[in-house]
Amino acid sequence: MTELLLACSTVDVTPPPGHPMAGYVARGDAPAVGTLDPLEATVFWLSTEDDPGVFWLSLDALAVDTELAGKLSDAVGRATGIPSDRVLVCASHTHAAPRGWTGRLHPAMSGDRDQALVDSLVDSVIDGVADLPEQRVPVDLSWCVASVKGLGSNRNRKDGLHDTSAGVVTARPRDATSPARTAALLVDYACHPTVLGPRSQVWSADWPGSARRSLAAALAAVDDPRTSDPAQPVVAFLQGAAGDSSPRFVRRGRDYAEVARLGALLGGAVLQAIQVDATAMAPAKPTMHKKIVQVPTREVPLPEVRDQLVTDAKEKLAGPEDTPEERLRRTRLEGALALFGLGTVELPAHLDLPLTVVALGDLAWVHLPVELFASFGFRIKQASPFPVTRVIGYTDGYAGYVSDAEGYREGCFEALMSLVDECAGEILVKESVALLEKARQEG
């Protein structure tokens, strides 16, 4: 019988203040002035005695471009001895992290990579994972899906498509002395971490960090209620197909109290699902399947068309800045300005996007380096040959938004910002399903 081994850890990677922040055009080059809550790198490593398995490294960052992902996966490989191609580097997409980790993520925007910041991040990750090979322990896994209400919604329309599900893998040590203790969770959910707005100038993991902390504390208390300070499990978070999902229409404020409230919504829903709906998973060796997908870049409109888009967006500005309706208007203007700026650069004919499927028995994860709209995520899930499929974005690179046809018709911010052709979503759905089918066949 296959014996699964787990190693997990959480590493504080918060940089000092004084560095420009990523995530909001409206923030400009404003630097962080302090830390609200720590930025972390979280590790969830599943392997077997004779196979290195899959190593999820989830980082509280706006994104990880291919250069940063490569540096981190190589560093993990050197520190642990596992092949670097077994490492998946995923971003939570918090908008309160350093811009210097990646630099410019859109060719029409400014931003430089800060090599000192990158080196410090890599060193912190190396220190945090070096002992993991010796810390692997046999585990049993269970699986459930939590229904999360009130944390996010479609951010372009209140009644728009939105995935309320959170996927949850629970790992417990195969130890007769403490069979109920939770070692780690791997949780995915799709929603922009944008409670803290562009006026905020403090490092923060936003609601994913709050969810991880509240969930870890709650699970520790449930597992060992007689201990005043029980050991807490590692909670790793993967960001889903969140291209058009955010708290825009559900948040009640833009401070840490709201960060904590929304994080607790996810934590509470996951805890309930674990206690009520968790199903034991048959031991199976995790496998990885990869391919590079070519996606054509967009055709940039003529200057007069781009100029008219900017003019129209400016004329529609009205009302208080922080209402959801005004945020929609202002982001549309930001998108129009970014599209105008694309006319000053030369895009390549296509982008090479890394696609990865991780299979674990009847469960699969599709990892893409984009901000995928929910409609595409649903289609991948529905067409997958696996009984359960989770769609994860922001992994091993960053190629921006992939809008659906409706987004292009409406001229939403995400469609205006996109670097890829309107056919990109269809290509990614087709290629994701094909890779899932290959993974299922090879079992």
**For residue 201, with 0-12 CB atoms within 10 Å meaning exposed, 13-18 middle and 19 or more buried, which class applies?**
middle
Closest to 59 in 3D by CA, of 262, 232, 236? 236
Q: Which domain holds residue 42?
A: 5-284
Q: 324 with 394, same domain? A: yes
Q: 117 with 248, same domain? A: yes
Tens of pLDDT, residues 85-131: 999 999 999 999 999 999 999 998 888 999 999 999 999 999 999 99
| Whole-number percent of the chain with pLDDT over 90 | 92
Q: 139 with 162, same domain? A: yes
Q: 259 with 307, same domain? A: no
Sole residue written with tokens 């309706």: 325
Q: 124 with 49, same domain? A: yes
Q: Is residue 380 part of a domain?
A: no
- pTM reported for the whole predicted model: 0.97
Q: Is residue 177 part of a domain?
A: yes
Where does a domain end: 284, 299, 331? 284
Where does a domain end: 232, 251, 284? 284
Q: Is residue 205 part of a domain?
A: yes
Q: 219 with 345, same domain? A: no
Q: 267 with 361, same domain? A: no
Tens of pLDDT, residues 137-195: 999 999 999 999 999 999 999 999 999 999 999 999 987 455 568 999 999 999 999 99
Tens of pLDDT, residues 367-423: 999 999 999 999 999 999 999 999 999 999 999 999 999 999 999 999 999 999 999
Q: Which helix (H) or strand (E) holds 71?
A: helix 66-80
**How many residues are given for the chain?**
443
Q: Give the number of domains in the chain.
A: 2
Mean pLDDT of the chain: 95
List alpha helices for 278-403, DSSP H.
303-315, 324-342, 374-383
Q: Which helix (H) or strand (E) holds 91?
A: strand 87-91
Q: Which amino acid is at 44?
A: F
* pLDDT (0 to 100) of residue 319: 72
* pLDDT (0 to 100) of residue 1: 67
Q: Is residue 206 part of a domain?
A: yes
